[in-house]
């Protein structure tokens, strides 16, 4: 039997029995059938139950609840999109950017409130976020980000810190300053997803695990098709994020990109004394190829980043979660941030897929004609966004017009990704190009020009 604890430190330490729930025994008819027991599927179930406790809800999960990105992520509960407020303002107008941002701030509050209400202890600490300039080449990016927040009226949620102010919070090698915001929390992703699963079960939903949805049939009574039978419903919700790229229906709407993580052993009090970081802020630099860090409750450093190659045809396999060269790169990067870590053991390494659309925008949509709803393509920022998506899907499904249903990702259709092998060529070119651009910027201590082909192709 699969040992799901091996998929991440979070699943290992969620404090929940990971023995699979029974699979779907035979065909069923319910009000709402949900593909996927990650945050999106579970939040959607949770809010639908709140709106109408009599709804019958079946959640169909190929592995176990939390198997996907929800049980493996970096633990940043950040009220942000991959497309920042300035990008949203350019594409959808300044008012849309402000409404979206205020909904995202609200979603972080809501997430914390539900945890308290449902008695889910997911170690949530609202420590804020620091985007750190590690070297002269990264200073312009944090200043630019600050200007953009000011332009859309969010300047008061952010503050630029100089190196001395930053060092009062945390000592990072080569750090020259940071952009600080209080609007971010760190959370135990495994406790969150497993706690949510228990909460929706308490309210009457059934989660069928070890059951793969092999097809989706839209129509007046849409269906999820599985080897054990069909789940027929009034509404079908596709909440499989990166894995949705496996479905014919959405194959070119998003691609799986792997995010990988390494984790240290618990640091000693003396090591923490040298580093600081008592506020447990979420940390990142301004690297184009992405890095993210968090401090766990038991005193470990989590260091995440990208680099595992995209596979032709959006293939997804366990091996991609364990790409050894990327894990080695992340361990090296962690010791560059904190030279003290040279003598510290890295005890865990894992990863998982994030769904990325062609325009980097998430989609939250419900097509009443086909009976199919979906929320997807969070591009690695789904911990808070999935809560918002769950409430939007509730409003769309119960036909309740609300400010949430007018947000820019609602009903959004991203352009399709290119057919293969063009998609593979382009994505790999951008992946390699951004790593090279970061290395060059660091070597020369000059910011990336923004003009290389990889930067322009990967811009969002």
Ligand X SMILES: Cc1cc2nc3c(=O)[nH]c(=O)nc-3n(C[C@H](O)[C@H](O)[C@H](O)COP(=O)(O)OP(=O)(O)OC[C@H]3O[C@@H](n4cnc5c(N)ncnc54)[C@H](O)[C@@H]3O)c2cc1C
Q: Which of 74, 84, 305, 433 binds ligand X (CB under 6 A)?
A: 74
**Nearest distance, CB of residue 430 and ligand X, angstroms:** 18
Binding mask 247-266 for ligand X (x = CB under 6 A): ------------x-x-----
Q: Which of 4, 10, 39, 149 binds ligand X (CB under 6 A)?
A: 39
Q: How far apart are CA 358 and CA 365, in angstroms?
A: 17
Closest CA to 244 of 53, 77, 41, 406: 41
Binding mask 1-30 for ligand X (x = CB under 6 A): ------------------------------
**Nearest distance, CB of residue 59 and ligand X, angstroms:** 9
61 binds ligand X (CB under 6 A): yes
Q: For residue 22, what are the contacts with CB-CB under 8 A and spacing of at least 6?
A: 208, 209, 210
**Nearest distance, CB of residue 451 and ligand X, angstroms:** 29
Closest CA to 107 of 375, 412, 427, 460: 375
Would you say 70 or 138 has its CB closer to ligand X? 70
Would you say 179 or 379 has its CB closer to ligand X? 379
Q: How far apart are CA 48 and CA 390, in angstroms?
A: 8
178 binds ligand X (CB under 6 A): no
72 binds ligand X (CB under 6 A): yes
Q: Which of 33, 40, 114, 393 binds ligand X (CB under 6 A)?
A: 40
CB 317 within 8 A of CB 243: no
110 binds ligand X (CB under 6 A): no
Continuous H helices in 308-361: 324-337
73 binds ligand X (CB under 6 A): yes
CB 337 within 8 A of CB 173: yes
296 binds ligand X (CB under 6 A): no
Encode burial over 33-64: b for 16+ CB neighbours within 10 A, e otherwise: bbbbbbbbbbbbbbbbbeeeeebebbbbbbbb
3-state DSSP helix/strand/coil % of the chain, to nearest 5: 40, 20, 40
Encode burial over 336-350: b for 16+ CB neighbours within 10 A, e otherwise: ebbebbeebebebbb
97 binds ligand X (CB under 6 A): no
Q: Please say whether the dihedral angle defined by the alpha carbons of residues 69, 70, 75 and 79, taken in this order, is positive or negative.
A: positive
**Nearest distance, CB of residue 294 and ligand X, angstroms:** 7
**Nearest distance, CB of residue 71 and ligand X, angstroms:** 7
Q: Is 182 helix (H, G, I), strand (E, B) or coil?
A: coil
Stretch that binds ligand X, among 171-179, 248-256, 376-384, 395-403 (CB under 6 A): 376-384
DSSP single-letter state for residue 246: G
Q: How far apart are CA 44 and CA 205, in angstroms?
A: 11
46 binds ligand X (CB under 6 A): no
Closest CA to 285 of 140, 137, 437, 138: 138
Would you say 161 or 257 has its CB closer to ligand X? 257
285 binds ligand X (CB under 6 A): no
Q: How far apart are CA 433 and CA 156, in angstroms?
A: 35
357 binds ligand X (CB under 6 A): no
Stretch that binds ligand X, among 54-62, 199-207, 268-276, 395-403 (CB under 6 A): 54-62
Stretch that binds ligand X, among 115-123, 312-320, 324-332, 377-385 (CB under 6 A): 377-385
**Nearest distance, CB of residue 355 and ligand X, angstroms:** 7
In the bound state, the residue with its beta carbon closest to ligand X is: 382
What dihedral do alpha carbons 199, 200, 204, 210 form, nearest 10°? -110
Residues 206-235 interacting with ligand X (rule: CB under 6 A): 212-213
Binding mask 122-161 for ligand X (x = CB under 6 A): ----------------------------------------
44 binds ligand X (CB under 6 A): no
Q: How far apart are CA 58 and CA 33, in angstroms?
A: 5
| Count of residues making up the chain | 460
Would you say 166 or 239 has its CB closer to ligand X? 239
**Nearest distance, CB of residue 164 and ligand X, angstroms:** 28
Q: Which of 10, 47, 76, 338 binds ligand X (CB under 6 A)?
A: 76
CB 237 within 8 A of CB 374: yes
Task: Point out which residues bind ligand X (CB under 6 A).
Answer: 35-41, 60-63, 67-70, 72-76, 78, 212-213, 239-243, 259, 261, 292, 304, 351-354, 378, 380-384, 386
């Amino acid at each position: 039997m699969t040992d799901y604890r091996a998929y991440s430190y979070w699943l290992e330490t969620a404090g929940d029995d990971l023995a699979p729930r029974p699979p779907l025994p035979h065909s069923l008819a319910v009000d709402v059938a949900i593909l996927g027991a990650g945050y999106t599927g579970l939040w959607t179930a949770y809010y639908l139950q709140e709106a109408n406790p009599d709804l019958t809800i079946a959640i169909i999960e190929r592995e176990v609840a939390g198997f996907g990105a929800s049980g493996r992520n970096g633990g940043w509960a950040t009220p942000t999109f991959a497309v920042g407020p300035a990008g949203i303002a350019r594409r959808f107008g300044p008012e849309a950017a402000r409404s979206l941002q205020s909904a995202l701030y609200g979603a972080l509050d809501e997430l914390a409130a539900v945890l308290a209400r449902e008695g889910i202890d997911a170690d949530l600490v609202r420590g804020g976020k620091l985007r750190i300039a590690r070297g002269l080449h990264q200073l312009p990016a944090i200043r630019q980000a600050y200007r953009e927040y000011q332009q859309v009226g969010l300047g008061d949620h952010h503050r630029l810190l100089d190196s001395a102010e930053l060092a009062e919070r945390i000592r990072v090698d080569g750090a020259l300053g940071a952009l600080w915001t209080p609007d971010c929390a760190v959370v135990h992703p495994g406790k969150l997803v497993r706690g949510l699963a228990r909460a929706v079960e308490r309210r009457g939903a059934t989660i069928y695990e070890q059951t793969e949805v092999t097809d989706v049939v839209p129509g007046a009574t849409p269906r999820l098709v599985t080897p054990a039978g069909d789940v027929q419903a009034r509404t079908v919700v596709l909440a499989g994020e990166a894995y949705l790229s496996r479905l014919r229906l959405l194959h070119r709407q998003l691609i799986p990109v792997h995010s990988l993580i390494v984790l240290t052993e618990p640091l000693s009090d003396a090591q923490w004394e040298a580093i600081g970081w008592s506020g447990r802020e979420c940390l990142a630099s301004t690297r184009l190829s992405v890095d993210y860090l968090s401090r766990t409750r038991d005193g470990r450093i989590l260091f995440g980043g990208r680099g595992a190659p995209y596979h032709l045809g959006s293939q997804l396999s366990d091996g991609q979660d364990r790409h050894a060269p990327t894990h080695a790169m992340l361990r090296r990067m962690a010791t560059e941030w904190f030279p003290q870590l040279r003598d510290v053991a890295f005890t865990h390494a894992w990863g998982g897929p994030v769904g990325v659309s062609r325009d980097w925008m998430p989609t939250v949509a419900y097509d009443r004609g086909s009976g199919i709803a979906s929320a997807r393509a969070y591009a690695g920022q789904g911990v808070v966004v999935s809560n918002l998506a769950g409430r939007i899907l509730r409003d769309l499904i119960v036909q309740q017009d609300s400010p949430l249903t007018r947000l820019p990702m609602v009903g959004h259709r991203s352009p399709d990704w290119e057919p293969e092998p063009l998609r593979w060529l382009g994505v790999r070119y951008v992946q390699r190009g951004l790593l090279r651009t970061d290395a060059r910027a660091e070597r020369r201590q000059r910011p990336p020009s923004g003009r290389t082909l990889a930067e322009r192709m990967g811009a969002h």
